[in-house]
Structure 1
Amino acid sequence: MRRHWLTALTMTLALSAFPGRSPAAPLSEAQAGALTRQLQAIVDDPAMPLPGLSVVAIRAGEIVYTRQFGHKRLATAATPAEPVDADTMFRIASISKLVTALGVMKMVEQGALSLDADVGAYLGYRLRNPHFPEQPITLRMLLTHTSSLRDEGGFKWGPEVDLREVLLPGGRHHGGGAMWSRAHAPGRWFEYVNVNSGVVATIMEAASGERFDRLMRRLVFDPMGLKAGFYLADFAPARIGDVATLYRRREKDGAERWDPSGPWIAQSDDFHIQPPAAPPGLDRYVPGTNGTLFGPQVSLRISAAELGKIMLMLMNGGRHGDRQILRADTVDAMLSRQWTIEEGVNGSRSGDGGTFHGLYQAWGLGNQHFLDASTMRDGRGRGDRLVDGGGFTGVGHLGWAWGLNALFVLDPATKNGMIYVASGVGADPDTQPGRFSSESRFQERITDALYRGAILGEGAGSSN
Structure 2
Amino acid sequence: MFAYINFPKCFLSFFCYLSISTIAFGQSQKTEQDLLAIMAKYQTVGMSVAVVKNNKIIYTKSLGLKDIAEHTPLANEDIFRIASISKSFTATSLMQLIEAGKFSLDDEFSELIGFKINNPKFPNTKITLRMILSHTSSLSDKNGYFDLDVINPNKNPNWAASYNDYEPGKGYEYCNLNFNLAGTLLEKASGERFDQYVKHHLLDPLGLYGGYCVDSLDNKRFVTLYTYNNEKNIFEPSPEAYAPKSEQISHYIMGYSTPVFSPTGGMKISATDLAKYMMMHMNYGTSNRIKIISKKSAQTMQTKLSDDEGYGLALRQITDLIPGKTLIGHNGDAYGLYSSMFFQPKEKFGIVVITNGCKTSYTNDFNDFLKESIRSLYDNLIAN
Aligned-partner residue type, residue 443 of structure 1 = L
1:386 paired residue number: 321
Structure 2: how far apart are the matches of 1:187 and 1:318?
Answer: 27
Aligned-partner residue type, residue 287 of structure 1 = M
The structure 1 segments of at least 4 consecutive aligned residues displaced by more than 4 Å after TM superposition are: none
- SS of the aligned residue for 2:180 comes to helix
1:93 paired with 2:83, answer yes
The answer (yes or no) to whether the contact 2:304–2:316 under 8 Å persists in 1 is no
The answer (yes or no) to whether the contact 1:198–1:290 under 8 Å persists in 2 is no
1:143 paired with 2:133, answer yes
- SS of the aligned residue for 1:122 comes to helix
Structure 1 residues 77-92: aligned runs within 5 Å: 80-92=70-82
Q: 1:210 to 1:222 in 2, by over 3 A?
A: same
- SS of the aligned residue for 1:298 comes to coil
- SS of the aligned residue for 1:205 comes to helix
1:337 paired with 2:298, answer no
Aligned-partner residue type, residue 73 of structure 1 = D
2:39 paired residue number: 43
The answer (yes or no) to whether the contact 1:249–1:258 under 8 Å persists in 2 is no
The answer (yes or no) to whether the contact 1:73–1:244 under 8 Å persists in 2 is yes
- SS of the aligned residue for 1:96 comes to helix
Larger Rg: 1
Aligned with residue 65 of structure 2, among 65, 71, 74: 71
Aligned-partner residue type, residue 44 of structure 1 = A
- SS of the aligned residue for 1:424 comes to coil
1:308 paired with 2:275, answer yes
The answer (yes or no) to whether the contact 1:56–1:63 under 8 Å persists in 2 is yes
1:131 paired with 2:66, answer no
1:185 paired with 2:167, answer yes
Aligned with residue 228 of structure 2, among 249, 252, 259: 249
1:282 paired with 2:230, answer no
User: How many angstroms does 1:174 deviate by?
Assistant: 4.2
Aligned-partner residue type, residue 51 of structure 2 = A
1:409 paired with 2:347, answer no
1:364 paired with 2:312, answer yes
- SS of the aligned residue for 1:210 comes to coil
User: How many angstroms does 1:305 deviate by?
Assistant: 0.6
Structure 2: how far apart are the matches of 1:364 and 1:200?
Answer: 15
Structure 2: how far apart are the matches of 1:324 and 1:172?
Answer: 40
- SS of the aligned residue for 1:178 comes to helix
Percent identity reads 30
- SS of the aligned residue for 2:223 comes to coil
Structure 2: how far apart are the matches of 1:187 and 1:397?
Answer: 21
Aligned with residue 237 of structure 2, among 262, 266, 270: 266
Structure 2: how far apart are the matches of 1:367 and 1:51?
Answer: 28
Aligned with residue 27 of structure 2, among 26, 31, 54: 31
**Gap regions ≥5 residues in structure 2:** 1-13
- SS of the aligned residue for 1:130 comes to coil
Aligned with residue 448 of structure 1, among 371, 375, 379: 375
- SS of the aligned residue for 1:152 comes to coil
Q: Which stretch shifts more, 48-57 or 283-292?
A: 283-292
Structure 2: how far apart are the matches of 1:146 and 1:297?
Answer: 16
Q: Which stretch shifts more, 330-339 or 200-209?
A: 330-339
**Gap regions ≥5 residues in structure 1:** 12-25, 158-162, 251-256, 342-360, 373-384, 458-464
TM-score w.r.t. length of structure 1: 0.75
Aligned-pair RMSD on alpha carbons? Answer: 2.0
Aligned-partner residue type, residue 446 of structure 1 = S
Q: 1:33 to 1:269 in 2, by over 3 A?
A: farther
Q: 1:219 to 1:433 in 2, by over 3 A?
A: closer
